[in-house]
Structure 1
């Protein structure tokens, strides 16, 4: 339950609207993937779509949940002979593309490393250099291939974990379902990953808050770092400031570098990515937390389909931000006070 508790508090983005709706907007919320979802939409026929949404999320879970031994990804991890379903195939192909662009900073085979540090779907182990070296033999996105709809591994013990991209894809899937029901104004948020289309109940673009990177795991007084205006785009955020633990006086964050096998240590506190799909934004946000500030800026400038907003600390420990030109126009407010 401790891990679930951390996940429930890890949301870095949330939508808000304090006014009374002028139109009939329906709000749904619930639990999925160990986190909370919030969905708001103007349904043209006044129908509540929640049952269909829940059914869709459960179907999605049957494909990509590493906590369900009967899911497609779990059966692939246990080396069963099966063809992957469309959910898995879509995520895998996007993951492979982002892995190539980021030179392996994003890597869905990092699961064994994440697990031994206590941030995955298995219990934490006693980490030693020897253990990390042995895991390096299993980790690497080029060590798995998709051939005729099936995953082939170079090593039988290689495991896949799509949690750093699947949540974003789930947002896209739910948003697509709502759109297909005839909705043109809606917002879908799952654990901080967001797709917004059209307008909110006020008739304006949706306002999305980006949390201040505060280490307070209890989030007693959550403050916003920035407020951005979002319409017809997806936004995802990743950060090390909530999902971590302290052992022996040292902080261990949940972002693991696939190349070293160790939690990252750098000045980048959170990365927020804007893209046409939430799956794309989610994957790049994770990759940037591995890469750190300088390399992330370099890659972001080379990928035209994304815009970024980074929060980092300078040499004095003060909060600073970097945002791409395309992100600048979205920012409605920014609070750089610690």
Structure 2
């Protein structure tokens, strides 16, 4: 079913592109404004109440397009693309620097499981912006010397690399950041009740159209390259929070009978091969939730829970395969507060 075709006809909106669902009750309420569109290579949705009933879609899209020109590797003239080409004249902007500093912080917290220098590996395994035929085994010995968040730094609005062959990929954090910024646009224009979603990353505040917390569904992991099979694992109720989910059940390929996940472990150079199927993170902001969800897919269940317990206001919900191949769930203690009653 096309979300774009059905968006005003259904109460239950499902976002098959990322395996995240969110429930918006009575979204046709005249007090709420609903926007949708395409940005960052995916779809976005926003529902909000404006004090004067003003539609803010143009302002939201203008701001998100600016982020694209900073952080999208698919925009040839973006800041990050020019950095990847070693353009000495490029200066980093506020968007790039905010994402860069947060990425470096998450890299340290997760012991390198999250790393924006992963671009050469993502490309080599056939999942990145430099598309080519997927190969069975890239030569990691020629790539790994150029991977590592410790090999890059900011100096006077310039990105300094230890090696010219280092390339950056912010895709695992940029959508979360953009979701935060879209929410900021709503805040700056007086909106107190809203939900913003970009490619499955979510920020919500206040109440939904029924005066309740926002209902969000977490997808049940089902291997499906066609993005047509959908079941809900559980429904949660949140407000004044951000949420992101990462999983390996949508983006993968099978070659010579072996499954290759789109999530790459930057520490080893290989696609992750753990029993974790999806990681959902709730945090105060979406840039953090987005990056941690990716890192938790790399780290696996035990390490993810350990790190989550050290982070204030961060909770996680992990779905994994047990030794018998059955799907199991484990979550941080604080996540219990979000289950929909």
Provide the TM-score with structure 2 as the length reference. Answer: 0.92
1:195–1:235 Cα contact (<8 Å) kept: yes
- Determine if the alignment matches structure 1 residue 55 to structure 2 residue 51: no
2:274–2:300 Cα contact (<8 Å) kept: yes
Counting matched residue pairs gives 326
Equivalent residue in structure 2 for 1:263, among 257, 264, 271: 271
Alignment of 1:55-134 (within 5 A): 55-81=62-88, 82-124=90-132, 127=135, 131-134=139-142
- Determine if the alignment matches structure 1 residue 253 to structure 2 residue 261: yes
Whole-Å separation in 1 of the counterparts to 2:56 and 2:221: 34
- Determine if the alignment matches structure 1 residue 227 to structure 2 residue 235: yes
- Determine if the alignment matches structure 1 residue 29 to structure 2 residue 32: no
| Partner-residue secondary structure (3-state), 2:146 | coil
Provide the TM-score with structure 1 as the length reference. Answer: 0.93
| Partner-residue secondary structure (3-state), 2:340 | strand
- Determine if the alignment matches structure 1 residue 151 to structure 2 residue 159: yes
List per-residue Cα deviations over 1:268-312 (Å, max 9, x = no partner).
000000100000000000001011111111111122231110001
Whole-Å separation in 2 of the counterparts to 1:119 and 1:97: 25
Could you tell me which residue of structure 2 aligns to residue 336 of structure 1? none
Could you tell me which residue of structure 1 aligns to residue 205 of structure 2? 197
Change (3 A) 1:127 1:15: same
Instruction: Give the Å deviation of 1:17.
Output: 2.3
Whole-Å separation in 2 of the counterparts to 1:102 and 1:127: 29
Could you tell me which residue of structure 1 aligns to residue 297 of structure 2? 289
Whole-Å separation in 2 of the counterparts to 1:309 and 1:258: 23
2:244–2:280 Cα contact (<8 Å) kept: yes
Whole-Å separation in 2 of the counterparts to 1:117 and 1:292: 20
Whole-Å separation in 1 of the counterparts to 2:190 and 2:38: 25
| Partner-residue secondary structure (3-state), 1:137 | helix
Whole-Å separation in 1 of the counterparts to 2:235 and 2:121: 34
Structure 1 residue runs of 5 or longer lacking an equivalent are 1-7, 334-338
Instruction: Give the Å deviation of 1:127.
Output: 4.5
| Partner-residue secondary structure (3-state), 1:157 | coil
1:117–1:124 Cα contact (<8 Å) kept: no
RMSD of Structure 2 on Structure 1 (CA): 1.5
Change (3 A) 1:313 1:142: same
Change (3 A) 1:217 1:125: closer
Could you tell me which residue of structure 1 aligns to residue 150 of structure 2? 142
1:25–1:43 Cα contact (<8 Å) kept: yes
Equivalent residue in structure 2 for 1:161, among 165, 169, 173: 169
Could you tell me which residue of structure 2 aligns to residue 316 of structure 1? 324
Instruction: Give the Å deviation of 1:121.
Output: 0.2
Change (3 A) 1:270 1:20: closer
| Partner-residue secondary structure (3-state), 1:329 | helix
Instruction: Give the Å deviation of 1:9.
Output: 4.4
